[in-house]
Homo-oligomer: A and B are copies of this chain.
Amino acid sequence: MHTHETVVMSVGGSLIVPDQIDTAFLTALKQLVNHQIVTCGRHFIIIAGGGKTARRYQDAAGAVSALDPEDLDWMGIHATRLNGHLLRTIFRDIAHPVMITNPDDIIDIPKKTPLIIAAGYRPGASTDLRAVQIAAHRGATKLINLSNIDYVYTADPRKDPSAEKIEDIEWAEFRKLIPRDWNPGLSSPFDPVAARKAEELGLEVAIINGMSPAEIEKYLDGENFVGTRVHS
């Protein structure tokens, strides 16, 4: 089945650089995406997070100078671009030659392009928000958020034994579980500003553990999968 459906995929930095660069993860991601494009005819736009590279630079800067939140943001952004170019490199044969940073630039790339790599753009917003903006520009209806968690929970399961995993949730309920505002160091399964915008657009977001490529394929094939589906 060749659908030419476009899927936006946000790849958390903790998957690309958990401590050192995880080449096993990258190899599995390459195989998954190549298969989806060549065999299933899907198109992808992949945006990279910053991971430990961002953290190392932020920590070093903090050891030398007082830090402005904007600088924290910028070092995170440049880390996403380094990670993004690493993705661009492993998909050299099929990816659009130029990595996107300003989401508006996606407008100029032909619709038939099977794979586009994106990265962070400017301070004041996360790559989750950029992923949602890209989905809006491209008319994509599905966004896969890959990180290192299997599910969103009703509370932090490390602290609260009554925390329950969530398999399916509406945006209004989901937004009650996360903070209201975003900042560069926020820990949340999805950026709150991006969540509001995704809700406005009627976008479906699937939060899946990136170490489980089989679950990603199940989600794309419309089967039951391990992960959390957020929708309108």
Q: Which of A41-69 contact B (CB under 8 A)?
A: 53, 56-57, 60-61, 63-65, 67-68
Among B27, B78, B124, point to the contact of A64 (Cβ < 8 A).
B27
Find out whether the CB atom of B65 lies under 8 angstroms from the CB atom of A21: no
Contact with B along A150-168 (1 / 0, CB 8 A): 0000000000000000000
- A33 nearest CB across to chain B (Å): 12
Find out whether the CB atom of A64 lies under 8 angstroms from the CB atom of B23: yes
- A221 nearest CB across to chain B (Å): 25
A224 and B88 CA atoms in complex are apart in Å by 48
* A110: Cβ under 8 A from any B Cβ: yes
Secondary structure at chain A's binding surface: helix, strand, loop or mixed? Answer: helix
Find chain B residues with CB under 8 A from A97 CB: 108, 110
Stretch of A4-12, A79-87, A190-198, A199-207 contacting B (4+ beta carbons < 8 Å): A79-87
Interface residues of A (CB under 8 A from B): 20-21, 23, 26-27, 30, 53, 56-57, 60-61, 63-65, 67-68, 71, 74-75, 78-79, 81-82, 85-86, 88-90, 92, 97-98, 102, 104, 107-108, 110, 122-124
